[in-house]
Amino acid sequence: MPQLNPLPWFLTLTTGWVTLTVFVFPKVLKLTFPNEPAPKNAEEIKKLSWHWTW
């Protein structure tokens, strides 16, 4: 039975992981997001309390 022979499946698995780690992961990690998080020393936003009229 061909599915019991691990050699072609192992080669496919190894080739896929090598491709991901060498080419794809570095490109994804270089991406920057348009909205960078604000530093902790940024200005505090005033929080106004809401008073219900009833």
Tens of pLDDT, residue by residue over 1-25, are 556 777 778 889 999 999 999 999 9
pLDDT, tens only, 37-50: 767 765 666 777 77
Please name the amino acid found at residue 33: F
Please provide residue 5's backbone torsions phi and psi, each rounded to the nearest 5 degrees: -85, 110
Q: Tokens 């780690």 correspond to what residue? A: 21
Better-predicted residue by pLDDT, 3 or 34: 34
Nearest CA among 12, 31, 43, 46 for reference residue 3: 12
- C-alpha dihedral (36, 40, 42, 47), degrees to nearest 10: 110
> In angstroms, rounded to a whole number, what is the distance separating the alpha carbons of residues 4 and 43?
63
